[in-house]
Every structure is written in structure tokens, then in C-alpha cells.
Structure 1
Amino acid sequence: MGSKVLDNEVTTVGGVLTDQQPLDFHTLGLAGCIDRLTSPLRQRGTVVRWDTPHWGVEIPADCASLLYQSAREMLSNAYKYSEASTLTVQLAAVDHGIRLVVADDGTGFDCELATCGRHHGYGLRLMSVAVHEAGGAVEISSSPGQGTSVSVTLPLD
């Protein structure tokens, strides 16, 4: 066998984590689909911790899809830039909604530059626009050397 195939079929395409499998929220659940995306980070030695206190909440497909895309953006950024040793993914029910938080102990960044610079944070900006259009909220907390925490909250009505 000449080429090495990732057993989990998650690859990095242009620095973006991409699952080659069709998304199957029904079988794997949202957490399972997001967890597959963390495998390149795990392979690199990042410890991935899960915190899912709410399971059993029904998440509509469009909502699950947006949370998945948001997770993909957050995890891709962590993979590309953070050099984190530990990353925590939290998926929790909140008042009338669902919140996804991805936090790491990596290099962090200057939030002002990342969201306002012309060539920076393009993915984060697109993610924010999509979340806001869905009636949700995005919070980004980071500073150089202090790690990064990004949370996306979507309404479930």
C-alpha cells in the first residue's frame, strides 16, 4: 500500500478539517459527527475533552448543521493556529436554546485583529453572520498566550 489512508477518513483540505463520510446526524448524533472532526487534533497529541450535560435534546437538522459547520470552523482554527495541548468541546442545553463551546489552551490571538483585519478571521466572520441570521449569538474570547474560547448559541423554538 503506497498511500496512507486515515482510518477515520477525516482530512485537512486547505487547513479545513473535512470529513469524507456523509454527515449522519441521525446515527452518530451531532456530538458524534463533531467528535469525528477532532481526530486530526487527537492524532497530533491534543487532548480532546467532551462536556455534554444535556443529551436527549432534539436538535432540528438545520440547527445541527449550523452547529456542525461552526464546530468545523472552530476546530479548523484550533488545528491551524492554536498549538493547544488541551481542547474542550461543550454542547449544552441553555434557556430555549443550545450552546456549543470550543475552548483551548493554545496560543490565543488578538480578537480585534482577528475579526476586523481585512485578511483575518474570514471563517469566523462568515460563521458569525450565519449564526446571527439564525437568531443566534457568537462570543469569542481570546488573547495572545491565553488560549481561545468560542461559543455559538442557537435558539430552539
Structure 2
Amino acid sequence: MATAQHWIEHYFDEASDAIYLFQEDTLLVSNKLAQDLQDELHFAPNYLVQVADAAVKQKFAPTDDCFSCSIRSMMHEISIPITLANDKRHPLNYFLIYHVIDVPTKVFSLTLKSRGTIDRMDEMAEQRQLSRYVSEAQEKERKNISEDLHDSIAQSMYSAIMGVRRLAKDSLSPTETEELTAGIEKQLNDTLEEVKGMALDIRPSVLDNFGLIPALRVLAERSEEATGITTTVSGSAKTDVLSAETQNVLYRIAQEAIHNALKHAEPHEIDLLLVSHNHFITLEIMDDGKGFEVPKHQEFNGRSMGLMNMNERVKALNGAFSIKSEPGNGTMVTVKFPVAL
């Protein structure tokens, strides 16, 4: 038990946050970081109590100054933004965490947590959430490819094999042989086209061989052929100044934006515009579909996962991503990447 108490005291004293324990207005104990911070910034611990008390009164509006009454009317923990060393060149931004430990004895703690640390923790949590999403999206794509291979490609190949076996074993007339041969050839050609289509969806060779604009034109042509919806590509941006990774991201965003428009917007026309400016290159994907309310689709959900993925891909390469849309007024997806002159 004594050993456990020792480790608890050691953990408290070496904590990475400044911690103060109070009973009413009396400081009971503080850890090393709290003492160092107090000595460096020359403030009284009771100043933190006053800040916390003012925040509690403002948030919960107690009817009197009774500490116990305030405690009864509030949650057991509240977070309060606070800035220390305002008079210095680099003020220190914290969250003051007010935590009730024991109501009858009026004991509570005040903990100073760096806002920068909390922001980094939030970023890490968001990154973990995004990683889970990316993993789920990859698994979904693998499942789709597997189903396509099994349900379409494999079945077509099996049917062709059975036709070849029939040619080898059955006694067919010249006319029957010709008809069966023609059927097998057509089936294999259709399967070949389907495999080529899958390969283009996964990674278009034209992007590697000829660059971004030709790849976007092929994407637009395939989309128009499949759906009948006019899809155009314009602009003469010099994409050779972009890295291969950036060009790939721009292509994927165009692919995802076209997919979203066809799936959700019921457009009559989709336009892609790729333009060079002095310091950046911009890709805009515009449709004249039914549009949507952007704020409702900025969180993780089934419909907006592709949008979130696009945004994160662009941010990872120091680009800017935006979506403008209103119900009845279509949608415009804009991506901007800086370029070196």
C-alpha cells in the first residue's frame, strides 16, 4: 500500500499538466509543473479559483454565492479557456479544467492543459477516424472488385470455357460450329472490354503516359458514353509542374466528383475546368444538378465519405479544397494546388 501511495504521488508530481487541489478557496497541494508555472508567471493560485468561479456562475447562473449550491447545479467538470502571460511577447493559451472531487468537503481540482496539446490530440483523434474511414473505403473497393471479378468476369470466362469444350467434344455441323465460335469470340471480347474498364477505374495508363488533361478527357468520354450525360473538359494548364502524386489526386477528385454528381445530383451536364494561374493550378468540377446543403454533409456519413476523403487527400499535399452547392443550383468542387515558378 505504501508503494502504491508513493507511485501515485510520483505520478501527480510528474504529470504533464499543472494541477492544483483546493478546498473552497484554500490551496491544498499542487504538483511541480503548477509550482514552476506559478513562480515563472507570478500569479496567485486563487486567481484561477476566481476565473473558474466566474465561469461557473456565468454558465449555470446560481442564485447566490454558495459554493455547494453552485456545485449542485453544475456538471462535475467544466473546461474554461484562459490565457496567461498576456503582457509577454508570447502569451500562453490553456484550458482550465474545473473538476469537482467531493461536494460535502468542497474539494475540487483545477488543471491547466495547453491548448496546443489538446489541439494536437484532437488532430490525432481526427486522423485516427480518417484512417478508419480510409481502411473501410479500401475494403469496400476490394469487395466491389472481388464481386465484379466473381459475378461477371469469372462467369463469362466459365461460359467461354464450356463453349470451347463443346467445340472439342460435340459433333457439330459447320453452321453450329461457326455460330458457337462467333458467340465465344463475342463473349471473350466483352470480357476483355470489361477488364479494361476495371483497369481504367483502378489506374488509367493514359495518366502515366500522357498526363492529367488527356486522362481527364478519357474519363469524361467514358462517363458520357456510359450515361449519356454531357461531360466536358476544358483548360490548358501546364500540369507538368505538378508532381505525379498531385496529378493522381486531381484525377481521383475529378473521378469522385463525377461519380457523386451522377449518383446524387441528376445533372444534365458536367464540366471540368483546369486552369493555370501565377502561383497555383485550379481544377473545378461543376454540374447543373439538384445540389445539396453542404453543412449537412461535412461530417462522416455514408454519402459524404467520398467528400471527406477528397478533402484529406488535398490537405495532405498542401492544397485547398472547397465545395459550393445549394439545393436547385448545382454543385462546384474546387481544388487548388500551389506551384513553383
Interval of TM-score (by shorter of Structure 1 and Structure 2): 0.7 to 0.9
Bigger radius of gyration among the two: 2
- Matched AA of 1:109: F
Residues 148/22 of structure 1: CA separation in 2 closer, same or farther (3 Å cut): closer
2:278 to 95, 107, 111: 95
Among 191, 197, 215, the residue aligned to 1:10? 197
Contact 1:41 1:79 in 2 (8 A): no
Equivalences for residues 76-95 of structure 1 within 5 A: 76-95=259-278
Call closer, same or farther: CA 1:61–1:117 in 2, change over 3 Å: closer
State yes or no: 1:41 paired with 2:228.
no
Q: Is the contact between residue 107 and residue 147 of structure 1 (CA under 8 Å) also seen in structure 2?
A: yes
Write the distance in 1 (CA, Å) between the matches of 2:195 and 2:218: 7
- The separation in 1 between residues aligned to 2:268 and 2:223, in whole angstroms, is 9
| Contact map agreement 1:103 1:147 (CA 8 A) in 2 | yes
| Counterparts of residues 121-132 of structure 1 (less than 5 Å) | 121-132=304-315
Is this contact kept in 1: 2:223–2:229, CA < 8 A?
A: yes
Aligned with 2:298: secondary structure?
A: helix
Would the alpha carbon gap of residues 56 and 67 (structure 1) be closer, same or farther in structure 2, given more than 3 Å must change? closer
1:136 matched residue in structure 2: 319
Give distance in 1, aligned partners of 2:209 and 2:301: 40
Instruction: State the 1:115 CA deviation.
Output: 1.4
Question: How far, CA to CA, are the matches of 1:22 and 1:40 in structure 2?
Answer: 12
| Alignment of 1:119 onto 2:263 | no
Query: Unpaired runs of 5+ in structure 1?
Result: 12-17
Shift of 1:65: 1.2
Distance in 2 (CA, whole Å) between partners of 1:8 and 1:95 is 41
- C-alpha contact (below 8 Å) 1:131/1:138 kept by paired residues: yes
Q: Paired residue for 1:14?
A: none
Listed as ranges, the gaps of 5+ residues in structure 2 are 1-185
Tell me if the contact between 2:321 and 2:334 (Cα under 8 Å) persists in the aligned partners.
yes
The answer as to 2:201 corresponding to 1:19 is yes
Q: Which has the higher strand share?
A: 1
Higher RCO structure (Cα 8 Å, ≥6 apart):
1
TM-score normalised over the length of structure 2:
0.40
Could you tell me whether the CA contact under 8 Å between 2:258 and 2:270 is conserved in 1?
Answer: no
Deviation, 1:153, is 0.4
1:56/1:137 CA distance change after superposition, 3 Å: closer
Read off the aligned partner of 1:33 and give its amino acid letter.
A
* Separation in 2, partners of 1:90, 1:10: 24
The answer on 1:75 being equivalent to 2:258 is: yes
Per the TM alignment, residue 55 of structure 1 is displaced from its structure 2 partner at its CA by 4.2
Q: Any idea what SS the aligned residue of 1:116 has? A: coil
1:41-87 CA distances to partner (integer Å, 9 max, x unpaired)?
31222112222143475322121111112112111112212211111
1:31 counterpart residue number: 213
Q: How many residues align?
A: 152
Paired residue secondary structure (1:119): coil
In the other structure, the counterpart of 2:334 is 151
Q: Tell me, what secondary structure is at the counterpart of 1:154?
A: strand
TM-align CA RMSD: 2.6
Q: Which amino acid aligns with 2:327?
A: P
- % identical aligned pairs: 26
Q: Which of the two has greater helix per residue?
A: 2
Q: TM-score, normalised by structure 1?
A: 0.82
Q: Distance in 1 between matches of 2:223 and 2:269?
A: 10
Q: Measured at CA, do residues 125 and 20 of structure 1 come closer, stay the same or move farther in structure 2, by a change above 3 Å? A: closer
Please tell me whether the aligned partners of residues 273 and 285 of structure 2 are also in contact (alpha carbons under 8 angstroms).
yes
